[in-house]
Every structure is written in structure tokens, then in C-alpha cells.
Structure 1
Amino acid sequence: MIRNERIKALEVRLAGLNGEDLGVVPTREALEMARKLKVDLVCTSLMSSPPPCRLIGAAAAVQEAQQARKKEQPSKVKELRLTPRIEDHDYDTKRQQAERVLSSGDEVLFVVRIQGKEGAAAQTLLESLIRDLKPFGRAKTGIQLSGKQAAVQLEPVGS
């Protein structure tokens, strides 16, 4: 993201603080306007001529840059393994771990190892995890029972 004096174009297509179109303006005038309003002049794209620029507050510019960087990075998937005979304390620990991962914006894949006839218990366990983690994430996939494991993937609520 190019800001203020780093914009080298002679003129820019300017948008105001509220997104209103101010037309094509010489860069020097746009910079003076930004200084007068105590905001930044930010170039949104270099692919067109004249480049589109916006007047935005400094805090908003930093926040927008962070959001753009987050969108560029694909979300990671953290795998958490369980067994159907999990104790309450271990269940709480795994739930808290999943809350932290989901809150950071990444996805969680719960995998339950199954031996013998534990399929129903594994499905019940995954359903209770989905229910307990509802404020933090939602099921991206349904509960998948296959051979020796059951799995479900949760994605953060904000995505």
C-alpha cells in the first residue's frame, strides 16, 4: 500500500473520507488536502491511470493494511486428535485449545480414532464439541465416519 509522498503519479483519481468521488486531481493538491484534513492519501491500485487514491485516517490505513495481509494468507488447519473414551478434564483441554485456534482465525480438524464399535461414541463426542464451540466456529464439513476414524472440520465464525 503506497501512502502520501511515495505516490509518484502526476494526478490521481481521488475519493474523499466518506467514499465520495472528488474526480481527477493533481497529486500535489491531493497531498495538501490530506495534510489539511490530517489524514493519509492512500493509493489503492497501481493498475490504472490515473491511479485511484483515497483519503483515510492513519489508524484506518494501518487497520486496512493488516486486514489485507490477513486475507492474502490462507487459513491454517490445526488437527486435534481424540479418543471416544476421553475424560472430562482432557475434553475441556481440547475444547480450550480449539477455542484459541478458532479465535486466531485458523480452522480446527477434530479426528477421533475408533476401535471396534466405538463409532457411535465418536459421533456423539464430535457433536458435543461442535455444540460447545458454536460461539467460536461452525462445522465446515459434516461428521465423517470412515473405517478407523471419525472427523469434522470447524472454521472460525467470522469467515
Structure 2
Amino acid sequence: MIKNEKIKASEVQLTGVNGEDLGVMATTEALALAKRLKVDLVCTSLMSSPPPCKLIGAGQAKQEALQEKHQARKQEKAPKVKELRLTPHIEDHDLDTKCQQARRILQAGDAVMLVVKISGKEGSQAKALLEQIIREMAPFGTKRTGIQLSGKQAAVQLDPL
């Protein structure tokens, strides 16, 4: 955040204290206006010419910068992958409970790995079960990978929408 005398541009695009557009003016003129109003002149971006600047109260500028950092940190957080384990012979009520858990996890913004433990020739049952769950979870998430049958388990990962 560049404030007051540290702004090196010859002229700036100025926005007032209440958000009104004051137009393009010389930096010295903008600094004089800021001192007269007892506020800070804060440069919001250096990517354009003339750079956009705001007149902001002293404490408010720091608060705004902290909020921006906090928002950036929130968006940076990678989604966790939570695993739900099932069997091919799951009862209807238990399946509903697992679907509710998956729905809650997806709505919270995390991914769900559905794993069906199989033994013997239950591969087709496990695949059918996972396809049924994927259809039920369609409004809440999309599958990242196809259904993977490997050894003693079948798995699929659902990402939140």
C-alpha cells in the first residue's frame, strides 16, 4: 500500500472520501486536498496510468489492507479431501446417512472420496453403488475421476461445485 508522499506519479485519478470521482489531478494538488481534509492519499493500483488513488481516513486504510490480506488467505486455502467408506451390501438407511454426510462435506467446500471395500466378485455391485451416489450428489458436486476399481476397493472423488 503506497500512501501520501511515497506516490511518485505526476498525476493521479482521484476518488473522494465518500466514493465520488474527483477526476485526474496533479499529485501535489491531491496531497494538499488530503492534508486539508485530514485524511490519507492511498494508491490502489500501480498498473494503470494515471494510477487510481483514494482519500481514506488514517485508521481505515490499515483496516482495509488487513481485510484484503484476510480475504486472500481465505481464498488460498486448498479444499481438503474427506474419505467416506462403504460396502456394496449397505442398507438403504445407512446409504442415506452416508449421502447426507457427503452432501454436508461438499457444501462446506471440501472434496469427498467415496471408497467401497470389495471382496471377491462384488466389483459390479460396488460400481453400481458409486454410480447411484454420483447421481444423487450431482446438484452438490462433480466427479473428478472416473470410478476406479483396484484390488479390494472401488473409489471415486467428488469435487464441490
| TM-score past 0.5 threshold | yes
Does residue 154 of structure 2 align to residue 143 of structure 1?
no
Aligned to 1:117: 121
Listed one character per residue, the Cα deviations across residues 89-117 of structure 1 (whole Å, up to 9, x for unaligned) are 11111111111111111100001000101
Q: CA deviation at 1:31?
A: 9.9
- Which residue in the other structure is 1:84 paired with? 88
CA 1:51 to 1:92, structure 2 compared with 1: closer, same or farther past 3 Å? farther
1:101 corresponding residue in structure 2? 105
Distance 1:155 1:74 in 2: 12
TM-score normalized by the length of structure 2? 0.65
* Partner Cα separation in structure 1 for residue 35 and residue 97 of structure 2: 53
* Alignment-mate amino acid for residue 78 of structure 1: K
CA drift at 1:155: 0.3
Give, in whole Å, the separation in 1 of the partners of 2:26 and 2:118.
65
Q: Structure 2 CA distance, aligned partners of 1:88 and 1:31?
A: 71
* Local SS of the residue matching 2:104: helix
CA distance in 1, matches of 2:36, 2:139: 46
Paired residue type of 1:88: D
Asked if 2 retains the 8 angstrom alpha-carbon contact of 1:9 and 1:51, the reply is no
* Structure 2 residue ranges without an equivalent (≥5): none
TM superposition shift of 1:44 = 6.0
Superposed CA RMSD: 3.8
* Paired-residue identity, %: 53
Give the drift of 1:8. Answer: 3.2
How many residue pairs match? The answer is 137
Partner of 1:8: 3
1:133-154 superposed Cα distances (whole Å, 9 cap, x missing partner): 0000000111000000000000
Q: What is the SS of the residue equivalent to 1:123?
A: helix
Shift of 1:74: 0.9
Shift of the alpha carbon at 1:68? 2.7
Give the whole-Å Cα distance in 2 for the aligned partners of 1:142 and 1:67: 33
Distance change >3 Å, CA 8–CA 142, structure 1 → 2: same
When Rg is computed on C-alpha atoms for both structures, the one with the higher figure is 2
